[in-house]
Structures are given as C-alpha cells and as structure tokens.
Amino acid sequence: MTSPSLTAPHPMLTPEGKPSITDWTLTPTKIHLNHGSYGSVPRIAQQHQLELKARMDENPCIWFMGQAAAVGAARVGIAEFLKVDADDLALVHNASAGVSTVYNSLSFAPGAEIVTSSHAYGAVLEGARRVARRCGGSVRIADVPLNADAEAVCELVMAEANDRTALIVLDQITSATARSFPVEAIAAAAKARGIPLLVDGAHAPGVLEFPVPEFDGYWVGNLHKAACAPRGTAALVARGAFKEVLDPLIDSWGFPHSFPESFDHVGTQDITSWLAAGTSFEAIERRYGWDGFRSYSAELADYGQALIGAAFTAATGEDATADVGMPVGPLRLIRLPRGLATTHEDSHAIRAWISDELDIETAITTFDGEGFLRISAHLYNSPSDYEEFAEKAVPQLAHLARTR
C-alpha cells in the first residue's frame, strides 16, 4: 500500500446520498467488474424504454407510421451527445451492424486487401475475412505488440498498406487488450495514401469526451457500453463523400433518401432503445456529470489495477503489470499468473468459473498466447469491488495456476 495509485477514491454516491449502484438494477449477489462487455442500463432508462414499448403496443399503426420521424429526432440527440453533425450520423443496432454496413456498401475490386491489427475485435476481423473471400483478396494483419506506442502502431499498421489496400479497419479502444490506438495519426496517414479508414470505436462513447475523431471516413460506436443506453443502440458516422456510398444493411422504405435519412426507416423493428438512449445520457449528466464519470472511473480503474496487480505479484512472484502503451479511461489490463487463459477456450472457462464460484463478473482475455484480466470501472463500482477480487479471486487463481 505504498504506491500513490493505491489511494482509493471515495465511493460514488447519488445526489440523495445513497450508493450509486441504486441507480442501476444489478444483482447485489454479484460483483460487477465487466461493464466493458455488455454495459448496464440505469433504472430510469429501463423504465422509459418499457413505457415506450407499452405505447408501441397500444396502437402499433400509429407507432410505426411515426417511427421514421422519431428515429430522426433520436438521431439528433445522439449526435449531440457524440458531438458530431446529425447529418453525418445514422443509427444502427450495434457496432457489428455498423461495421457490416460499411463492408457491404463499399466495392472491393478483385484481389482487394483489408488492413487491420492483431488487436482487432474477432467478429470485425471475421467480417473482413468474408469480404476478402468474396473478392478473392486477403486481410493483412499488422502485428502490434501490447506495449507499442502511438508512433509504432502507426508505422506497423501503415506498413501493411499497399496499392491493393481498399480499407483500413482500426480499433479506437481495443477489446482484449484495453488500450487505445492513435486513430487521428492513422487517419492522416491513410488519407495521404488515399485509403478509406473504418474506425471501430465500440468502446469510445462516454469514455472519451470527443469520441468521434475529426477525419473523413467511417466510425462506429456503441452507445450501450460506457454511455449506458439501452442495448441495441449504436451509431455509424460517415463524412464527406464517404457517406454517399452507404446503404442500410437491411433494405426498407428509406431507399429514396440519402444517408443518413435512408437509415431512419427500419421497417417493423423495435427501436425503443434508440428513443430511450437520451434518458441515460441526461440522467448521468444530471446526477453525476459525464466529466465526473470519466474522472471517477479512471481513478477507480487505476486503483483496482494497482491493487489486484500487487495481489497477483505477491501471490505468484510474477510481474502482473501489463504495459498497454496507451491506456484509456475505465478499462484496465492485469497479467494473469503464467499458464492461465492462454487460449480463448480457457479464458472463457476461467471467466465462467470466477462468476459461478466467486460471484464476480469479469472479462478474461487472451492476447499473443498470454492470459489477462480486464477490469472495468463505472459509476456504480466502488473500491470494495476490487478489494474483494484481490482477496477472494487472486489466491484462488494463483492456486489454479500452480496446480494445473
């Protein structure tokens, strides 16, 4: 307990003085350290969405006749939250849908190549491989070390680009390795080479004050992660000439319009999550402030990382620190004891075991054949959550590694 990062922040309280977790409906029998994967929706936004669903079923005819206009209005509110022009933003149900929309809208010449990095999200990478299979091309993966700095990331990614590169796909904040990438620098380098860039900003909304970088190209982001919107709320941002080629993934009645109005028409889909998203944004701003979220979650994540890392090192004698080069906001990585979670199958099994046996929700990730614990911090977390992980889970995981 000597490092300054081991100073625990005061637990966050509601304006009424109650523990902040009372604004959520998370089960109290578990500790929730994995907001990063699936988010968690504040009680007030859940209630709003339920009211909207009830209204939809009171008169479906009226609801669906007015749905496109309602989507257009929600789009304006979401654009304001993301600090982008509403004419550059379409709503989609998740980051995956946004990425698939771009993959399906662009033309890929025979033999075209897509460049990405070894930190790419698995499903996004698989989508790129499918595009490559269809056009007889290939995916080039820049091998980026965990601790690479901005300059190294930029060099390694751009070194994979050539005359056949039709698209660069890059994470803004990575999933398995909880780090950020220098997207502005890569956007500038890609523009200089005339290559379109798709930024996977799934984790950026809420985490970054300005989540959508200033560049001409494509950006997708989930509002249902840190920003706490009801699930199924994501944005696809496209600027300049790049937006002209975008068609919705699912054809509907928006076809006479251009982007983004063409995306406002989604047929008979339930878009109540989009309409209730603003309730989450407003409630968090009113009760805690988004700046308050960003500073509290970063401080708490620092504390959790230092505490749990020190506990692992004390239990195993191994260095548990994971230098991720460009750490970011509320996500942190801690190296697991040697031999644990070295494959995706093992990481899933260990995560499930920690949940079932120890009642703690975490993300266990594998990168480059090594296993990591990824912790998240949100307003509803408190220092005791990480202390409990250090006390309960660390000795058990160290024992597991020793006895395997």
Ligand X SMILES: Cc1ncc(COP(=O)(O)O)c(C=O)c1O
Per CB under 6 A, residues contacting ligand X are: 37, 94-96, 121, 124, 171, 175, 200, 202-203, 222
Residue 123, C-beta contacts closer than 8 angstroms, at least 6 positions apart: 96, 99
Query: Please, what's the largest Cα pairwise distance for the chain?
Result: 65
Instruction: Give 182 or 337: the residue with its C-beta nearer to ligand X.
Output: 182
Instruction: Give 236 or 315: the residue with its C-beta nearer to ligand X.
Output: 236
- How far apart are alpha carbons 237 and 117 in whole angstroms? 21
Tokens of 329: 């906001």
Confirm if 362 and 33 have CB atoms less than 8 A apart. yes
Instruction: Give 114 or 390: the residue with its C-beta nearer to ligand X.
Output: 114
Instruction: Give 180 or 222: the residue with its C-beta nearer to ligand X.
Output: 222
Beta strands in 93-155 (DSSP E): 113-117, 138-142
- How far apart are alpha carbons 329 and 185 in whole angstroms? 20
Q: Which residue is listed with tokens 């007889």?
A: 136
Shortest separation between residue 159's beta carbon and ligand X, angstroms: 22
Instruction: Give 95 or 377: the residue with its C-beta nearer to ligand X.
Output: 95
Instruction: Give 180 or 313: the residue with its C-beta nearer to ligand X.
Output: 180
Shortest separation between residue 401's beta carbon and ligand X, angstroms: 26
Instruction: Give 52 or 124: the residue with its C-beta nearer to ligand X.
Output: 124
Cβ–Cβ contacts within 10 Å for residue 353, how many?
A: 15
Instruction: Give 230 or 337: the residue with its C-beta nearer to ligand X.
Output: 230
Instruction: Give 222 or 297: the residue with its C-beta nearer to ligand X.
Output: 222
Comparing CA positions, the residue from 223, 228, 227 lying closest to residue 43 is 228
Confirm if 73 and 86 have CB atoms less than 8 A apart. no
Instruction: Give 235 or 306: the residue with its C-beta nearer to ligand X.
Output: 235
Shortest separation between residue 181's beta carbon and ligand X, angstroms: 10
Shortest separation between residue 301's beta carbon and ligand X, angstroms: 16
Residue 338 amino acid letter: R
Question: Where does residue 362 rank: exposed (0-12), middle (13-18), buried (19+ CB within 10 A)?
Answer: buried
- How far apart are alpha carbons 351 and 195 in whole angstroms? 39
Shortest separation between residue 102's beta carbon and ligand X, angstroms: 13
- How far apart are alpha carbons 316 and 358 in whole angstroms? 20
Shortest separation between residue 37's beta carbon and ligand X, angstroms: 6
What percent of the chain is helix, strand and coil (3-state, nearest 5)?
45, 15, 40
Shortest separation between residue 34's beta carbon and ligand X, angstroms: 10
∠ CA 350-353-357 to the nearest 5 degrees?
150
Comparing CA positions, the residue from 159, 140, 209, 218 lying closest to residue 183 is 218
Shortest separation between residue 403's beta carbon and ligand X, angstroms: 32
Residue 178, C-beta contacts closer than 8 angstroms, at least 6 positions apart: 36, 324, 327, 328, 331, 332, 333, 374
Shortest separation between residue 9's beta carbon and ligand X, angstroms: 25
Shortest separation between residue 295's beta carbon and ligand X, angstroms: 23
Tokens of 113: 């190549």
